[in-house]
Amino acid sequence: MHIVVTATAECINPGQHHPKAENKASFSAEGLFPVQNGRADFSLTLTATFQPDCSPPMTVQYTSITVTDVDHNVTKRLL
């Protein structure tokens, strides 16, 4: 099974203000996972990198997270 995860990552400052355009970007990760007995267990990691860095006290917040089963054209939106 071919799985793709996409999300928007935002670097949020301590005042909970949303970022400027340069601190907001889309990221993705994908992988092929075996199906056994009609079930596929998998794990993917998204790593957001920003220029300039999103260092403490700022935090990364993910939005618009989707998981897509490319083989079956099924998409689930998580946030």
What tens digit of pLDDT does each residue of 8-56 get?
998 888 876 666 666 788 899 999 999 999 898 989 998 888 877 888 8
- Cα(10)–Cα(46) distance, rounded to whole angstroms? 13
| Dihedral-angle region of residue 72 (phi above 0 means left; psi in -120 to 50 means alpha; beta otherwise) | alpha
Query: Residue 58 — pLDDT band, cuts 50, 70, 90?
Result: confident
Q: Determine contact, residues 61/18, Cβ cutoff 8 Å.
A: no
Closest alpha carbon to 66 in 26, 24, 38, 22: 26
Stated pTM of the model: 0.79
Beta bridge partners of 75: 68
